[in-house]
Amino acid sequence: MNDSRSRVGNVLVVVVLLAMASWWLFAEEGLRWPDVAGSRWTLFVVVVVLYAALCLVAIARTRRMTRPATVVDDGTILVAFATQTGFAEELATRTAAALRAAGHRIDLRPLAQVDAATLMATRVAFFVVATYGEGEPPDTSRRFAREVLGAVASLGDLRFGMLALGDRGYEHFCGFARTFEAWLTKQGADPLFARIDVDKSASAALAAWDAGLLPWTGDAAVQTLPSFVWWTVSERRRANPGSIGEPAFHVTLVPPQGEAPSWEAGDIAIVQLPDGQRREYSIASLPTDGRIDLLVRQAHRSDGGIGFGARWLTSTLAIGASTGLRIRANQGFRLAGIAPSTPLILIGNGTGIAGLRAHLKARVAAGATRHWLFFGERHAAVDNVYGDELDAWQRAGFLERISYAFSRDTPRRVHVQDRVLEQRDAVAEWLAFGAVVLVCGNAAGMADGVDAALKAIVGDAALEDMAVDGRYRRDVY
């Protein structure tokens, strides 16, 4: 926009100069072209040429200021992702593989590692962007949203495609992707095709994404997502008998005979329902257990009925029956690269204990001991799921501290975020020593409350840095 205004201004100045020169050269009565004095004409030409040179210098300087000095169009396609649960990363990796198979040079990276200079140096980009909660960026993309989307960039040479992941259950469906796209177009970037919005993991929208990629993938095979495998329900028990809350069930599934699936603590089990829909659950066990443990609550919908996924796993499927299941790596909630000596602060409530349990099992197996668990539920007597296991780990020295928040056991309802604030000095000390924070459970209420508590302890910017550095990881829903 500023460049356009400058060009219009330059044209107007030239017009004014020509008008003044015409008056100066030809205003005398009876004066015609052959009679014009050579000195006047020479002076006029010199002025116009000097002004044109000045304009060219200004344009060159402007371009150097608005574009990186090292821009080289080497044909590289940028594939960037913003993920909360790992699905966006999985799809971005799949996209990059298809483009690479077609012969393109690919730069695959998290959106957290993209800045304005990178975007200005890019000619073609594909973005796979998830939204957290009500229109918020995923944790690792918070700093990107604040620093990059709050700046101005010259993106007139950028063409892009965008796949937006979200959940229509939220008012601001795909809100972060929409905000990002609006910023891109405002800076001059052109979409290659209309943004594709995915509700949860709708296959039709993913097929549309594959179709949008065809001009770049050509005959190269687009990688499909891993297929579902039939797992058998081997055990199911009520995990919170007598609770005033909704029933929660410990559900165990075993793989087909002869198969030994692999996953890591933090990964997600995707269960396929008979109607083709899918539900995601935090895995509470390790491959060495030879099974997948899930903790599933019979959450009631607004109409009073139980959600289809919960009903399918907790009552419809008989013991010995099978259901389609596949495992998705959740890089953002794994602890790859974190040494056993690194302190771990685990925070969760309700069924969120499932994902935290898997991490504790893995760390106990590694001989790690510096763990602090914050866990919240209603009543200690009936809602302390896996409480016996936690107590045993504490007695054995693997769980240094446990801070419970049983909201119905105290006159004032205390929640897990309240416990974090009560222990703010000790939490700050653990963080100063390099502790990694893992949060698992409800996004509304617990996760947002814990986020606010941690911000009160370390500050907004420091918490953003922790997320980017992998020291603040969340599996929330």
**CATH number for the domain that contains residue 147:** 3.40.50.360
pLDDT at position 53 is: 53
Query: Which strand ranges, in their side-by-side order, compose the sheet holding 401-406?
Result: 401-406, 371-377, 344-349, 436-441, 472-476
Number of helices (H), then strands (E), in the chain: 15, 17
Q: Checking DSSP bridges between strand 278-282 and strand 268-272, what pairing results, if any?
A: antiparallel
Q: What is the pLDDT of residue 205?
A: 87
Q: Are residues 351 and 471 in the same domain?
A: yes
10 near 55, Cβ under 8 Å?
yes
Say if residue 212 is in the same domain as residue 246. no
Assess contact for 164 and 179: CB atoms under 8 A: no
Residues 188 and 122 sit within 8 Å (Cβ to Cβ): no
Amino acid type, 114: V
State how far the Cα of 464 lies from the Cα of 145, in Å rounded to an integer: 11
Q: What is the pLDDT of residue 409?
A: 94
CA–chain centroid gap for 380, Å, is: 35
The tokens of 25 are what? 């050269």
Do 440 and 356 meet the contact criterion of CB atoms below 8 Å apart?
Answer: yes
Lookup: tokens for 125: 């980009």
Rounding to the nearest 10 degrees, give the CA dihedral for residues 441, 445, 447, 452.
-160
In a domain, residue 222? The reply is: no
Burial profile 276-307: b = 16 or more Cβ within 10 angstroms, e = fewer: eebbbbbbbbbbeeebbbbbbbbeeeeeeebe
Asked if 470 and 337 touch (Cβ cutoff 8 Å), the reply is yes
Do 345 and 436 meet the contact criterion of CB atoms below 8 Å apart? yes
Q: What is the pLDDT of residue 221?
A: 59
In a shared domain, residues 90 and 181: yes
Kindly report the backbone phi and psi dihedral angles of residue 64, in degrees, each rounded to the nearest multiple of 5, phi listed first.
-65, -30
Residues 123 and 42 grouped into a single domain: no
- Do residues 465 and 387 share a domain? yes
| Shared domain check, 315 and 277 | yes
pLDDT at residue 42, as a whole number? 54
Asked if residue 288 belongs to a domain, the reply is: yes
Please indicate, yes or no, if residue 50 is contained in any of the structural domains: yes
| H or E element, residue 390 | helix 387-395
Nearest to 253 by CA among 272, 276, 273, 230: 230
Question: Do 310 and 352 share a structural domain?
Answer: no
Q: Which residues contact 287 (CB under 8 A, 6 or more apart)?
A: 260, 261, 262, 263
Phi, psi for 405 (deg, rounded to 5)? -135, 90
Beta strands at 344-349 and 436-441: parallel, antiparallel or unpaired: parallel
Contact 316, 78 (CB under 8 A): no
Q: Which runs of E-coded beta strand occur in 173-215?
A: 190-191, 196-199
Q: What is the CATH number of the domain that holds 349?
A: 3.40.50.80
Tell me what pLDDT residue 204 has.
84
How far is it, in rounded angstroms, from Cα 220 to Cα 200? 27
Whole-model pTM over 0.75: yes
CATH code where residue 242 lies: 2.40.30.10
Q: Which two tokens stand for residue 264?
A: 């890591």
Last residue of a domain, one of 217, 243, 272: 217
What pLDDT is attached to residue 25? 46
Does 350 lie in the same domain as 444? yes
Domain boundary among 275, 296, 329: 329
The pLDDT tens digits along the chain (477 residues) read 444 444 444 544 444 444 444 544 444 444 444 444 455 545 445 445 545 554 544 444 333 333 333 333 458 999 999 999 899 999 999 999 999 999 999 999 999 999 999 999 999 999 999 998 888 999 999 999 999 999 999 999 999 999 999 988 778 899 999 999 999 999 999 999 999 999 877 778 888 999 999 999 987 656 677 899 999 999 999 999 999 999 999 999 999 998 999 999 999 999 999 988 899 999 999 999 999 999 999 988 777 789 899 999 999 999 999 999 999 999 999 998 899 999 999 999 999 999 999 999 999 999 999 999 999 999 999 999 999 999 999 999 999 999 999 999 988 999 999 999 999 999 999 999 999 999 999 988 899 999 999 999 999 999 999 999 999 999 998
3-class SS of residue 48:
helix
**148 domain residue, yes or no:** yes
Whether residues 15 and 88 fall in one domain: no
Q: Which of 307, 329, 351 is the last residue of a domain?
A: 329
Cα–Cα distance measured from residue 99 to residue 333, given in angstroms and rounded to the nearest whole number: 27
Q: In total, how many domains does the chain have? A: 4
Tell me, yes or no, whether 368 and 400 share the same domain. yes
Neighbours of 425 (CB within 10 A): 8
Instruction: For residue 123, give its domain range.
Output: 77-217
Look up residue 158 and give its DSSP letter: -
Are residue 392 and residue 460 in the same domain, yes or no? yes
My answer on whether 324 and 364 are in the same domain is no
Flag whether 71 is in a domain.
Answer: no
